[in-house]
Amino acid sequence: MGDEGTLYIPLLLGTSRKERESEKVAKWVLSKMAERDDIETRLFDVRDFDLPRDHYGTEIGGSFPEWRDAIIRADGLVIVSPEYNHGYPGVLKSVLDVLLKEYIHKAVAFVGVSAGPWGGVRVIEAMVPMVRELGLAVTFTDLQFPSVGSKFDGEGNLLDPAYEKRVAGFLDELIWMSRTLRWGRQNVKSKYH
Ligand SMILES: Cc1cc2nc3c(=O)[nH]c(=O)nc-3n(C[C@H](O)[C@H](O)[C@H](O)COP(=O)(O)O)c2cc1C
């Protein structure tokens, strides 16, 4: 298997809360992804999804063509989620639920964000069985941002240099999984693609 080719890996910011700290995390991770020659990325924000109050799920997938086309094209996905009562925001689930078969046999990597000291480990664990049903394959290298309120300066710069090494490992593994699954989708017969 060659190492050739750019991987398309969008990032989904999973909360619409007004003063969300997760946005700083998402923008920092996105900037690190953009530095990699082997990744093409773009930000999707759950705030930009005009979700109806009276409908739900894949039947409304056609209302979000940019998201649908991005996931069809994607080799992987990064989800940045805060921990809300040990779970993920409902709006994140609502956005993910508008598609289904488009996710199958693609990689997903999680970034957890919390005010508390655990860095979203509980929301990440909660997301694993949920994305499994979508057909996504989870990486084992998560990125955690505990005590997020003290992690960034006023301009959104990350204050802790230890994250440079962490994000490199996080992306290396996501790239490996995304590339391997792309090879599999292209070369190994499956009823799903
Ligand atoms: C509804 C709600 C529930 C929360 N539950 C938790 C929690 O279970 N554990 C935790 O560490 N922080 C919790 N927080 C705090 C968030 O982790 C905190 O707001 C952090 O900044 C990340 O979320 P944000 O992107 O909305 O800012 C909660 C916040 C909200 C709004």
Q: For residue 115, report the distance from its CA to the centre of ligand 1, in Å.
A: 6
pLDDT of residue 131: 98
pLDDT of residue 184: 97
pLDDT of residue 171: 98
Q: Which of 37, 33, 106 lies closest to 71 in space, CA to CA?
A: 106
Q: pTM score, two decimals?
A: 0.98
The token duo for 17 is: 């809360």
pLDDT of residue 24: 97
Q: Is the Cβ atom of 116 under 6 angstroms away from ligand 1?
A: yes
Which atom of ligand 1 lies closest to the CA of 17?
26
The token duo for 117 is: 């000291």
pLDDT of residue 4: 73
Question: What residue ranges define each of the domains in the chain, with the CATH number in brackets?
Answer: 7-184 (3.40.50.360)
Q: Which of 3, 29, 1 lies closest to 14 in space, CA to CA?
A: 29
| Separation of alpha carbons 56 and 59, rounded Å | 7
Q: List the chain residues with pLDDT less than 70.
A: 1-3
